[in-house]
Structure formats: structure tokens, C-alpha cells
Chain A
């Protein structure tokens, strides 16, 4: 039951965050790249304001899988590293915490270029 509730929370919160993006897609002339940047930076800012951590604790993957969650990891990483190393931590923490994701994207992206050919859209 607890597990099911966890999934319901992830589904609803994740879906709602995506709908904010969809609102920007349909209602504004913002390009995709701008919307993605806006989401990451919002994630960082909301984390710094102490709003995103409670949401992540509540919704789990529903809050961490959307790009705002990437911003959350960046900001949490920076804050924790400052606690550990002082000022230099601000330059270390963000990337350290997100290194797995960034590296995975680069490596799998490069692999894709080796394995696949471009195809036309129907």
C-alpha cells in the first residue's frame, strides 16, 4: 500500500511539473531550449529557498526525474560541499552530485552516434 502511494505521488507530481512545461510550450513563444534552461534554474532557486527539498522528500522520483530535479541535485550538491570544504565547495558540489547523469548523457550520446543512422520523419 505504501509503495502504491509512493507511485501515485510520483505520477501526479511529475505529471504536474510536466504540465507547467506544457503550459509554457502552448501559451508562450519560448523556445524549447529556453524552457529547459528555465526549469533547471528554477530547480536550483527553489532548492536554495528551501522549497524543493520537501517536495522531493514527498514525491520522490516525481520531483527528481523532471529537469527541476537536476537543478535540485546541483544546488544540494553545492550546499553540502560548502559545508564540507568551505567556499571552494560551491565550485565542486554541483557537478560532483550530477556527474553520473552528465557523463551518462555524454557517453550514451556518443555511442548513439556510432550505432545509429539519422532517419527521416514520416
Chain B
């Protein structure tokens, strides 16, 4: 059985996460998860000529780190799946150009990393690929330039605004082998949900209904409850969005114990770092899951994790034209094999 319910893939040959790597910027490197990340950058520019090139370089380094750890070279990697927040996902595609790896560009806004995991796992489980590199990145400076204002403009952000993380995460998936390790056993594709939130600053509110929808779909498709997971980690709802998700679950009578629910965006920064609602961006869930959550599963701290990446599907054009902000979420179940 390779499909369950309406939206879920059950992988017959669940791929193994052979290696993972994470890179974060200086501000993220001063947050509560600082000790977990593989690399903390000293500055945001990485010696490049522009923020966009800096983000590309970050993706390249992170992808390379994951390959080195899995002892696979550029030639061995059969596909790279990934994306970022730049127009036409230039950071990922330019990094793929440098790496020379076959590339599938994805866009799911901040959910891109989990979108890549779900897609790559299906391709590997189906026998189309033996391995795949999943990568997603975001950079505070490129995102500000594209979605908001020039960095030097003196503006105030409302309390519900989140900070786009300068971060990148990469995971190298390989086909089933007897090795002990992390496996991706199922994945759920989300629907685009829109409850007519028009405040482009309030990503948590825009995405929470989509996250709820995907979690509910995953649980009902797999016949599981939230208690079957040691942890459910949402992408970047932030502190406010997490509360909204809990309220939605309660109203719909879906059991979602608060002690089993964390949010990557709310975990990346400390409240005192003045990021307002927390972190966001494709790199947020990528770096937090590769840097922190996967290591916790490897350490035996967790056995089964539901990683839910969420994205706000807006563009500057749709915002300026007064459109509301639709959300989407993808879920991937990551388990320790042999557990």
C-alpha cells in the first residue's frame, strides 16, 4: 500500500536520511539552539558581492557538507530538490549550477524543505532515484529586500511580524539499506487553505489553518493520533501561530497535546532577541530539523517525529493588489529504524 486516505504517501521502501547539515547566520547563532547547528556564520555576506550570492553560497556549502558526511560526491548525487524565497528560486538553482547536480526546483514558501522531503522520498521509494539531496534556504537580507523594505529604512514592525531566518538545512536521502538510521516513512501533501487573512505581516495567523488541516489529514489518513508521535514540530508559525493552532485543534476536537507540539520558528530565537513573533523562512524549518530535531532522534531522545513545514503563499504583487494570504503545509513522518 503506497497511498493512504486522501493526501498521504506511505513509503513502501522508506528512504534513509544518510546525512544532514545545517548553517545559520550570526543572529540565529546566538539563539537557544546555537550549540546544535553545524556551522554558524560570522557575518551575513560570506565574502560575496550581494545578499543573493551570499545565500547561494550558503546553500552550496550546506549541500556540500551533507554530501561529505554521506561520503557521496557531486557525481554520485542523482538529484537535488530544493528551493528558497527569492524570485524564481535563484539561490537554490544557482547553487545547483555550481554543484552540477541534476536539479528539481521546488517552491512551497517556508514549507519548501518538507515539500522536498516528501517528494524526494516518493521518488526514492518508487525506485526512480537511489539518492536525493533535499535543501532549503532563506536569508534575512534577501527576504527583506524582496518582500518588505530596504534594510536601511527606519520602520517599526508590529508584534505579530516574524523575522526571516538566515539559515539553510540539507538532508541527503538514500534508498533503503540495512543501515540503522533515520527513515522517512510517510508524507502528507497539504491543501492550500485561506481563511482570508490579509495582514501580510501575520504569517502565523495565515498559516495556522493550513497546518491544522495537514496534521488532521495526516492523522486521519494514517489512523494515528498525536500521541503516536513523540513530537510534532511545525515549521514557522511562531509563538502566536502555535497558540492559534492549539485553539483550532481544540475547537475541532483533534487531540494535540501542547507538550508534544513545538514550533521551529519559536525555538530558533529567544524572546529577548526581539524578533517579535519568532523566526520564519525556508531555512528555519530546514536548519532546525537538520541541526536539532534529527540529532535528537539519532540520540534516542525521540523515536517518531512529525515534521510539518508551512508556507504563506503570498507575493509582493498579491499583497499590493489586496489579496489575502493563503497557507500550505506538508508533513513528513521521520522515525528511527530499529526502534
Contacts and interface: CB of A to CB of B under 8 A. Distances in A.
A118 B151 contact: yes
B155 A118 contact: no
Contacts of B156: 25
Nearest to A121: B151
Given A32-B155, A120-B140, 19 more contacts: A25-B156, A29-B198, A32-B149, A32-B153, A118-B51, A118-B141, A118-B151, A118-B152, A119-B151, A120-B43, A120-B44, A120-B45, A120-B141, A120-B151, A121-B140, A121-B141, A121-B144, A121-B151, A122-B27
A29 B152 CA distance: 21
A29 B27 contact: no
Query: How big is chain A's contact interface, by range?
Result: under 10
Contacts of A120: 43-45, 140-141, 151
Interface in B111-170: 140-141, 144, 149, 151-153, 155-156
B221 interface: no
Interface of A: 25, 29, 32, 118-122
Contacts of A119: 151-152
Q: Which 4 A-B pairs rank lowest in CB-CB distance, beginning with the nearest?
A: A120-B44, A120-B141, A32-B155, A121-B151
A119 B155 CA distance: 16
B176 interface: no
Contacts of A32: 149, 153, 155
Contacts of B153: 32
Interface residues of B, number: 16
Nearest to A22: B156
Contacts of A118: 51, 141, 151-152
Contacts of B140: 120-121
Contacts of A122: 27
B199 interface: yes
A49 B151 CA distance: 38
18 contacts: A25-B156, A29-B198, A29-B199, A32-B149, A118-B51, A118-B141, A118-B152, A119-B151, A119-B152, A120-B43, A120-B45, A120-B140, A120-B141, A120-B151, A121-B140, A121-B141, A121-B151, A122-B27
Interface string B30-49: 00000000000001110000
Nearest to A122: B27
A111 B140 CA distance: 26
A42 to B, nearest CB: 20
A24 to B, nearest CB: 12
A121 B199 CA distance: 23
Contacts of B151: 118-121
Contacts of B199: 29
B41 to A, nearest CB: 11
